[in-house]
Amino acid sequence: MVRGAGHEDYVAEKLAYLQGRDGVKSPVRYLSAALRDDYKGEVAAEPSPEAVEAAEVRKAQAEANSREEEAREAEMDRARRLRAGRLGRIRELVAARTPTQRDADKRLFLARLDDDVEREEFMRLGWGSALSVGAMVAFWEELVPGAFEEV
Tell me: the pLDDT tens digits for 43-91? 446 777 888 888 899 999 999 999 999 999 999 999 999 999 999 999 9
Amino acid at 143: L
Mean pLDDT to the nearest integer, 104-129: 95
* Torsion angle of C-alpha atoms 121, 139, 96, 125, degrees rounded to 10: 0
- In this prediction, residue 145 carries a pLDDT of 95
- In this prediction, residue 1 carries a pLDDT of 47
**CA distance linking residue 85 with residue 131, whole number of Å:** 14
Which H or E element spans position 9? helix 7-19
**CA distance linking residue 74 with residue 36, whole number of Å:** 34
Q: Please provide the DSSP assignment of 99-145 as one string.
A: HHHHHHHHHHHHHH---HHHHHHHHHHGGG-GGGHHHHHHHHHHHST
For residues 73 and 65, the answer to whether their CB atoms sit within 8 Å is no
**CA distance linking residue 133 with residue 99, whole number of Å:** 21
- In this prediction, residue 2 carries a pLDDT of 46
